Amino acid sequence: MLPRFDVAGEGVFGNVGMKQTATHCPYCSLQCGMHVQSIQGEHAGKHWIIAQRDFPTNRGGLCQKGWTAADLLADPGRLLAPLVRDRPRGSLRPATWEEALDRITGAIRNIQKKYGRDAVGVFGGGGLTNEKAYALGKFARVALRTSQIDYNGRFCMSSAAAASLKAFGIDRGLPFPLADIPLADTILLVGSNVAETMPPVMQYFQQQKKRGGSLIVVDPRATPTAAVSTLHLQITPGTDAALANGLLHIAIKAGSLDEDFIAARTEGFDLVRRIASSYWPSRVERITGIAEQHLTRAADLLGKVKTAMILTARGPEQQSHGVDNVLAFINLALALGKAGKPACGYGCLTGQGNGQGGREHGQKADQLPGYRRLDNLEHRAHIAKVWGVGEEDLPKPGRSAYEMLDAIGSEDGVRALLVFGSNPAVSAPRAGHIEKRLDALDFLMVSDFFLSETAERADVVLPTAQWAEEEGTMTNVEGRVLLRKRATTPPRDVRTDLEILHALGTRLGCGGGFPSEPKDVFQELRRASAGGAADYAGITYDRIEREDGVFWPCPSVEHPGTPRLFLDRFGHANGRARFHAVEFRPPAEEPDQEFPLYLTTGRTIGQYQSGTQTRRIPALMQAAPNAFVQIHPSMALTYGIRQGEQVRLTTRRGSATLTAELTPAIRMDTLFVPFHFNGTERANLLTNPALDPVSRMPEFKVCAARLEKGRPC
């Protein structure tokens, strides 16, 4: 028997007092609403239960990760005190907060004195709350006065963000609420396996199907999402722009364009039309591996209906031409007149918990809060005023995430790195090289709740509070700002990241600028974002609670928020969306004699990101215990590889040892490896750090690989 609560509050289970807190899941960008129930009295702080919450996004649904999220709160591997390392390669030992903080500020001062301000870098995360992302950006620019700050969201949504800014003038994952999905006649879902990565969202696609809608899934694998689609386009990895241009070519020929919409609400179509003319179906079939009749069917399903949506995720985005890929799909949506109208639009399914908010408030190398830009004088002046510093004191834009890590050890690279909520030793491309770069640092600090693979290499590790132990806002995939409420207190010697930034700021002489209370930080964030593209000025904690979240932009407390963007005008000054001419360019690395197969990477249902959290949860480890490589049975036969056998996978970056999983669900020429695992199972030992020229996104989704039977690393 479980305790019953109708709303958040106190309750009783037998004779034990219980408290129920309405909050959100710690993991992905759906940010499912959930209740955390905690036992009060003498057993307080030991037992928590996750319970359903009827919230508008997940409507009570949770995936296995959500259901087991509370297991981490009392995990025995939890960091409960700061750790410091006395000498290079010595072991970490427990220390007091005083000692740990002194070590950090001592290292910052020494290194900046010797090598300059940019010798200290900050590496943030897309899972941090808006308040932390904001405070981290401010800490880098005001307390450290370094230009060197970026975050792991650069590895996640940066290509879609850059493309949306170019095309629409505003970047918000979905420009409409999830509730609009069932209203679309056709949905083109490119490079996303939502049935496994965010299962509760499938209810919207199921509703859409029930209403008679069509779902087209583009993926090199026949995933569980593809299994419920109307049409699966099993694309050759890295050929997304050719597909989008090819669909546009067919749509033009079929007379499916919305010429009135193009004339009234867009600019720049002529060149795009000319380029599309050279993507005739047989050529596109040769490039993408998708049969002509499927291309025609997809173009008709999109072009011959009243409403359609095009949604992309990491598949087309995590490529060295990720921005172009997304722009090509946006071109298609605009040309068909399927944007800026009810039940229509282009959207990006963000990945990390705060993938959206994390990219709006200043932890990106080129960015200031409210989606302002560091290279814009007006923007700099506004933020400098809020922060009480001179505009000229704000640093210039710095290096992107991979470039900052890669430059460690070079003459002008960072020598000290402060990492918050990120594990680049597992999540960065070419991870073997990145490990060496991290080891080349003079000083590494990591704030985390577990000893991640990055924390293991640190000079100082700070134990930080988990999601249920602190308050803060998150902005979900829809642009809905949510409140994560504190359900329990952190262990005695554990601090929140805001408390850590406050303590470090105080030691560096600007503590007043770094409040440790989330609500105080949010008040400042509201002022800083006011008038920016991502305007949070009218959003308060009370409103979020009362209204089940508030959609930005929300410029005043009287404003209702903006669930649907672009219905009247797009975000550019003239209100028009912009086409961008895109030619298909092959990926940075294609299969050849030495490395004859495509390798692509992604997520599995039971794990999350670098696995620091989910690899500790027994139920999830049972579901997804280790890394594997998916191989088509015919390909396995040519190598003599059997199901379950250990195989070695090699690229130009390194090798990994993986368990062979034979499945006809993958293309013959392609291998798939999940990226949540560590050691010699790390997918990112293999991935290619070739960067998109605009978004600086690495090419996680495609490289050339060689498969070998029975040669463990």
Residue whose CB is less far from ligand SF4, 174 or 461: 174
Rg of the chain over Cα atoms, rounded to whole angstroms, equals 25
**Per rule CB under 6 A, is residue 63 in the interface with ligand SF4?**
yes
Q: How far apart are CA 456 and CA 446, in angstroms?
A: 9
The span from the CA of 274 to the CA of 689, in Å, is 32
The contact mask relative to ligand SF4 for 75-114 (x = CB under 6 A, - = no) is ----------------------------------------
Give the one residue of 5, 27, 450, 551 binding ligand SF4; rule: CB under 6 A. Answer: 27
Q: Rounded CA gap, 41 and 14, in Å?
A: 13
Q: Which span (20-28, 253-261, 657-665, 704-712) binds ligand SF4, by CB under 6 A?
A: 20-28
Binding span for ligand SF4 by CB under 6 A among 58-66, 156-164, 335-343, 378-386 = 58-66
Task: Identify the CA nearest to 713 among candidates 660, 666, 647.
Answer: 647
What single-letter amino acid sits at 302?
A: L
Choose, by CB under 6 A, the member of 23, 58, 352, 473 that binds ligand SF4: 58
Report which of 160, 170, 162 is spatially closest to residue 535, judged by C-alpha positions: 170
CB 460 within 8 A of CB 105: no
28 in contact with ligand SF4 (CB under 6 A) = yes
Exactly one of 18, 30, 697, 703 binds ligand SF4 (CB under 6 A); that residue is: 30
Pull the structure tokens for residue 297: 């069917």
Within residues 179-198, the interface with ligand SF4 by CB under 6 A covers: 198
- Rounded to the nearest whole angstrom, what is the least distance from the CB of residue 69 to ligand SF4 in the complex? 7
Taking every pair of Cα atoms in the chain, the longest distance, rounded to a whole number of angstroms, is 74
Sequence-separated (6 or more) residues with CB below 8 Å from residue 476: 29, 30, 31, 57, 173, 350, 356, 482, 549
156 binds ligand SF4 (CB under 6 A): no
CB of 422 to ligand SF4, least distance (A): 18
Residue 73 or 242 with smaller CB distance to ligand SF4: 73
Euclidean distance between CA atoms 433 and 426, whole angstroms: 11
Smallest gap from Cβ 169 to ligand SF4, in A, equals 29
Restricting to residues 196-215, which ones interact with ligand SF4 according to CB under 6 A? 198-200
**CB of 328 vs ligand SF4, minimal distance in Å:** 28
First-to-last C-alpha distance (Å) of the chain: 49
**225 sits near ligand SF4 (criterion: CB under 6 A):** no
The CB-of-49 to ligand SF4 minimum distance in angstroms stands at 15
Between CA 155 and CA 424 the distance in angstroms is 10
Residue closest to 131 by CA, chosen among 494, 421, 445, 562 = 421
Q: How many other CB atoms sit within 10 Å of the CB of residue 107?
A: 21
32 or 51: CB nearest ligand SF4: 32
Which alpha helices (H) appear in 218-268, and where do they start and end?
224-227, 240-253, 259-265
Binds ligand SF4 (CB under 6 A): choice among 23, 66, 138, 217: 66
Using DSSP's 3-state secondary structure scheme, residue 91 falls into coil
Q: Which is nearer to ligand SF4, 63 or 188 (CB)?
A: 63
Q: Is 614 in the site for ligand SF4 (CB under 6 A)?
A: no
Q: Minimal distance in Å, beta carbon 354 to ligand SF4? A: 11
Query: Which residue's CB is nearer to ligand SF4, number 32 or number 383?
Result: 32
**Whose Cβ is closer to ligand SF4: residue 63's or residue 383's?**
63
Instruction: Please report how close the Cβ of residue 245 comes to ligand SF4 at its closest, in angstroms.
Output: 33
- Angle, helices 240-253 vs 322-335, to 10°: value is 20
User: What length does the chain have?
Assistant: 713
The piece of 28-36, 144-152, 397-405, 623-631 that touches ligand SF4 (CB under 6 A) is: 28-36
Per rule CB under 6 A, count of chain residues that contact ligand SF4: 14
Quick one: which segment of 23-31, 40-48, 327-335, 620-628 binds ligand SF4 (CB under 6 A)?
A: 23-31
Residues 130 to 149: which contact ligand SF4 by CB under 6 A? none
Q: Is 357 in the site for ligand SF4 (CB under 6 A)?
A: no
In a 10 Å sphere around its CB, with 0-12 CB exposed, 13-18 middle and 19+ buried, how is residue 173 labelled? buried
Token look-up 């490990």 returns 435
Task: Pick between residue 355 and residue 424 the one whose CB is nearest to ligand SF4.
Answer: 355
Q: Which is nearer to ligand SF4, 129 or 234 (CB)?
A: 129
Stretch that binds ligand SF4, among 30-38, 261-269, 317-325, 419-427 (CB under 6 A): 30-38
Least gap, CB of 62 to ligand SF4 (angstroms): 4
Q: Could you give the CA distance from residue 707 to residue 693 in angstroms, rounded to a whole number?
A: 30
- Written as one string, the DSSP assignment of 3-54 is ---SSSEEEEETTEEEEEEEEE-SSSTT--EEEEEEE-GGGTTT-EEEEE--
| Contact call for residue 25 and ligand SF4 (CB under 6 A) | yes
- For the chain, helix (H) and strand (E) counts, in that order, are 23, 31
CB-nearer residue toward ligand SF4: 58 or 657: 58
Q: Which residues bind ligand SF4 (CB under 6 A)?
A: 25, 27-28, 30-32, 58, 62-63, 65-66, 198-200
